[in-house]
Amino acid sequence: MINCEICDQEFKTQLGLEKHYTTLKHTTNSEMKHIKDTVAELQNENNDLHHEEEILNDQITCLKNELETANLKISNLKKEIKSYQDNIIRNNGIIESLTKKISELKKENEELKESIKLHDSKKNNLFNIFAIGGIGLSVFVYFVKDYDVIKFLHI
């Protein structure tokens, strides 16, 4: 016996089977089997796509969480940068005032140096005047020691 697997029928001869292949029943059953096989393949593919969709949704959720974490880090870094910028501005102000103070102190130091030079110069002049006066007095005394000073001064 020869069997048609699509229609689930048995035939005694090969000629009967070949004749059966040309019947509307066999053609319809063949198309139905093909449609059922296609539907089964599409359902498997659909199941695979649903599984991939779940995996992708999980990945999207993970990426969203990572993005949120990264945004928080960026926000914190922006705050930290702002704090550093404020500190730099504050420090620049301090540096500027200290630089100004240093300039003033340098100027004051130069003025003091000039004043010291002037004072030293006056001190040297005064010393020279006293020295010359002392020398003059010594010379005077040397020459007048033989004379009576009281008579000389008319006292």
Nearest one of 17, 16, 63, 99 to 6, comparing CA atoms: 17
Give the other-Cβ count within 10 Å of 9's Cβ.
15
11-20 pLDDT per residue, tens: 899 999 899 8
39-71 pLDDT per residue, tens: 999 999 999 999 999 999 999 999 999 999 999
Q: Report CA-CA distances (Å) from 80 to 8, 69, 120.
A: 79, 16, 58
Domain range for residue 26? 2-153
- Number of domain units in the chain: 1
| Percent of the chain topping pLDDT 90 | 55
* Cα 120 to Cα 113: distance, rounded to the nearest angstrom: 10
108-140 pLDDT per residue, tens: 988 888 877 766 666 666 666 666 666 666 666
Three-class secondary structure assignment of the chain? CEEECCCCEEECCHHHHHHHHCCHHHHHHHHHHHHHHHHHHHHHHHHHHHHHHHHHHHHHHHHHHHHHHHHHHHHHHHHHHHHHHHHHHHHHHHHHHHHHHHHHHHHHHHHHHHHHHHHHHHHHHHHHHHHHHHHHHHHHHHHHCCCCHHHHHCC
Residue type, 6: I
